[in-house]
Structure 1
Amino acid sequence: MASTPIEHPTTTQTLPSKQHPIPFSIAPNGTRTQLSSILPPLIFGTATFNHQYNTDPFALDTTGLTTSALTHGIRAFDTSPYYGPSEQLLGTALSTPFVRETFPRESYLLLTKVGRIASSTFDYSAPWVRQSISNSLSRLQTSYLDLVYCHDVEFVSPAEVLTAVRELRRIRDEEGTIRYVGISGYPLDVLCEVAELVHRETGEPLDAVQSYANFTLQNQRLAGEKGIQRLKAAGVDVVPNASPLGMGLLRRQGVPVGSLGDFHPAGRELRARVRQASDFCDRHGEKLEVIAIRWALESWISTGALCGSHGDPASGVPWMRESNDDVGGAKLGVSVIGVSKPEELEKTMLVWRSILDGLEGGEDTAVRAGRWYRAWEWSRNRRVAVQILAEGVQEILGEWFDYAWESPGEGFVNDKRTQSITTPAATIIEKVNKDGAENPWLTPAASPAATPVEGDEVVEKSLPLR
């Protein structure tokens, strides 16, 4: 069996130095730097710092992962209060003396969310939005948040989303602890409808709409006129594509199972087709997740450019800075990746580096940086090979290609609606924690064993999940 081609790292490396701030300003008339001029095209997602994806997120080297991501050029981190201890772990990682000294707060962006409290508990009220922002600032140990999304908007009414967006913008304008406001979720029709509603009712479009699992080898709906084109028409500035592996569906080992059990909504038939696709990739010396990651990142750079960004890309090389001009100067589609292990991050960044090498000007950039003079040629050839296998995977998926599962599922009831309208969301969280069934996260002392086991076999996780 042929071996998987190797992505080529650099042959040069510089020493660490204090990183420059990302430019941001607000004009006297209230106009602020456009998000699409500064948001990096590669964002580190920390949904993996959670019990959904890992048995014990406290056992992960989250500090090492975050620091390594920064040294490889990543300058944006996406998190959420719903991601268990993610905000807490990320805040701790960004507060080490080395990071504080070398990567000042102004040199990277922090993205988080409001509204989703637990799997079946949502609160988009103005009081809870304010409380949630206060909590996130404390957990992340920061004085401001760069971008705040309303989390999973399909689970509440459009009117509730509008209330939350207005409160976030009030905080932005009056308190200054928020810089940009957006929404996130899964069903594209809901995301588009809400984006259009916000623009129509407030006269101001959303800064960002984050879609997940809608631009992958399995589902590419985000690319069409009912996806990014409709969002662009609603005035949305940036559309980040998250979860290129479809929440871990597109992996040789199947969906990840953390301490919260099998949470993935994909049915048995779709999972069986993905397994067949994985076997197909194996027969050609590749891993499904490697093909899925490379295809999604490389394709979205151009497909997502319609609502992309001029922000500086992560070079993928330790301590090597790279500007948007170095890779052609055009807008690049924005992607969100998540990892759990150092080797996953290293592999992802090598793939990202190779993708950048294949862009306009990549040939000259590689030579100037001291990398292999044929890196551009290798990247272009690799793109062709990945595209061939991607088309093979889509043939195997058949009728399951472009399939989207229901969100929310049938019979969903927001637990918050069963509470008195005067019940503070904090009280609901306390009740959920005491009940145990939907505990957002376990304390380190209560965490289960760090390594998932099925029978006598240790189950390894592989490459980015979300």
Structure 2
Amino acid sequence: MPDLPTDTLGRTGEVVTKLGFGAMELQARVGEEAATRVLNAVLDAGITMIDTSPDYGPSEEFIGAGISHRRSEYFLASKCGCQVDPPPPADSFPAHAYDRRTLRGGVEQSLRRMRTDHLDLVQVHMSPSRATLELHDSLAELEALRDEGKVRFIGMSGTLPDIADHIEMGVFDAFQIPYSALEREHEDVISAAASGGAGTIIRGGVARGVPEALPAQYARLPEEMRARLEQSLEERKARWAVTESRLDDVLEGMPRMEFLLRFTLSHPDMDTTIVGTSSVDHLAANVAAAAKGPLPPDVYDDALRRLA
């Protein structure tokens, strides 16, 4: 396997591979045996960053069953604020709350599911406002969990507009931020988070491969949310069509996925990007692309100019 580039995740001081694995794709339809095969292939490839969430179906249970015996080999990040057992109905989107009981219950549930005594990073999910966090005294509970050794670092899975307040609070060790060549709204936010000393974790760095349609499991989302996502997908497909026409000379035969991944890796203030798959073959392709590192500086500058 090729060597993967690494970086330090902000003030956590932890060195992680710049290509991480997002376990969202390990849904129930995958099955435990296939999930175990993919997860072990992730570690065998040298990837040291794994990100998941209680919202991702049986993803956490798959991690516990498949690789808990290799716990020392990976930095484990999950989310909190998600609905605690019992799981939400299959036709509904998981509820989120930020009261102290829900936060503690969620973290302790994740520990049981993943058969570990600690999360390296727990990220507040769905970017609640600063006012919401202060109303529920959310940070006090997360700090208590950290003091008990159940979590090592506290992060935020954030988006505009609230992420500006989150950075200003100065309490989060890492931020998970959406970004890709097709969705550059948070480009400066990544640098702002890094300038404050926080680690930066990029999601959507390959624009979910710009699929032709939303995954089947998205059918259970509320109608309004699903409509927004469908509109976003159509916008991403349109952007990619324009992007390809503008980047013909830059791509020079480079596969779409490789360009998107290496473009994300080229951001000077990103530490790691989480890319998910349920296929060992796709995983190998991701690893091969990431091993090439960022785009050459002249290609990256040219791409930025053409995408402006």
Q: TM-score, normalised by structure 1?
A: 0.54
Q: Output the CA distance in 2 between the equivalents of 1:35 and 1:147.
A: 9
Q: Deviations over 1:269-289 (max 9, x none)?
A: 624523524764789645433
Cα deviation, residue 88, structure 1: 1.1
Q: Output the CA distance in 2 between the equivalents of 1:161 and 1:341.
A: 42
Structure 2: which 5+ residue stretches go unaligned?
Answer: 4-9
Q: Output the CA distance in 1 between the equivalents of 2:304 and 2:31.
A: 35
Equivalence map 1:67-86=2 (5 Å) = 67-86=40-59
Specify the SS of the correspondent of 2:238: helix
- Report the aligned-residue RMSD: 3.2
Q: Output the CA distance in 2 between the equivalents of 1:128 and 1:120.
A: 13
Q: Output the CA distance in 1 between the equivalents of 2:122 and 2:202.
A: 16
Residue 228 in 1 paired to residue 190 in 2? yes
Q: Deviations over 1:403-423 (max 9, x none)?
A: xxxxxxxxxxxxxxxxxxxxx
Residue 172 in 1 paired to residue 138 in 2? no
Match of residue 42 from structure 1? 19
Cα deviation, residue 257, structure 1: 2.0
In the alignment of these two chains, the number of paired residues is 284
Q: Alpha carbons of 1:277 and 1:80: their partners in 2 closer, same or farther (altered >3 Å)? A: same
Q: Deviations over 1:403-450 (max 9, x none)?
A: xxxxxxxxxxxxxxxxxxxxxxxxxxxxxxxxxxxxxxxxxxxxxxxx
Cα deviation, residue 87, structure 1: 0.7
Cα deviation, residue 240, structure 1: 1.2
Q: Give 1 or 2 for the bigger CA radius of gyration.
A: 1
Check whether the contact 1:153–1:184 (CA below 8 A) recurs between aligned residues. Answer: yes
Q: Alpha carbons of 1:50 and 1:384: their partners in 2 closer, same or farther (altered >3 Å)? A: farther
Equivalence map 1:1-400=2 (5 Å) = 34-50=11-27, 56-58=29-31, 61-95=34-68, 100=69, 103=70, 105-117=71-83, 119=93, 121-154=95-128, 157-159=131-133, 163-173=137-147, 175-187=148-160, 189-197=161-169, 199=170, 205-212=171-178, 215-224=179-188, 227-232=189-194, 235-246=196-207, 248=208, 250-251=209-210, 253-261=211-219, 263=226, 264-267=229-232, 270-271=235-236, 273-274=238-239, 276-277=241-242, 280=245, 285-297=253-265, 299-300=266-267, 302-304=268-270, 333-355=271-293, 380=296, 388=302, 392=306, 394=307
Q: Alpha carbons of 1:340 and 1:120: their partners in 2 closer, same or farther (altered >3 Å)? A: closer
Q: Alpha carbons of 1:291 and 1:38: their partners in 2 closer, same or farther (altered >3 Å)? A: closer
Cα deviation, residue 139, structure 1: 0.6
Cα deviation, residue 185, structure 1: 2.4
Q: Alpha carbons of 1:288 and 1:208: their partners in 2 closer, same or farther (altered >3 Å)? A: same
Q: Output the CA distance in 2 between the equivalents of 1:268 and 1:35.
A: 34
Q: Output the CA distance in 2 between the equivalents of 1:166 and 1:49.
A: 32
Q: Deviations over 1:329-377 (max 9, x none)?
A: xxxx22222122111110111111111xx7xxxxxxxxxxxxxxxxxxx
Q: Output the CA distance in 2 between the equivalents of 1:42 and 1:162.
A: 34
Paired letter, 1:218: L
Structure 1: which 5+ residue stretches go unaligned?
Answer: 1-8, 13-32, 200-204, 305-332, 359-378, 396-466
Q: Alpha carbons of 1:169 and 1:63: their partners in 2 closer, same or farther (altered >3 Å)? A: same
Check whether the contact 2:166–2:172 (CA below 8 A) recurs between aligned residues. Answer: no
Q: Alpha carbons of 1:229 and 1:292: their partners in 2 closer, same or farther (altered >3 Å)? A: closer
Cα deviation, residue 116, structure 1: 2.5
Percent identity, aligned pairs only, is 21
Specify the SS of the correspondent of 1:211: strand
Check whether the contact 2:82–2:106 (CA below 8 A) recurs between aligned residues. Answer: no
Cα deviation, residue 265, structure 1: 4.9
Cα deviation, residue 36, structure 1: 3.1
Paired letter, 2:27: N
Paired letter, 1:141: R
Match of residue 402 from structure 1? none
Q: Output the CA distance in 1 between the equivalents of 2:131 and 2:49.
A: 30
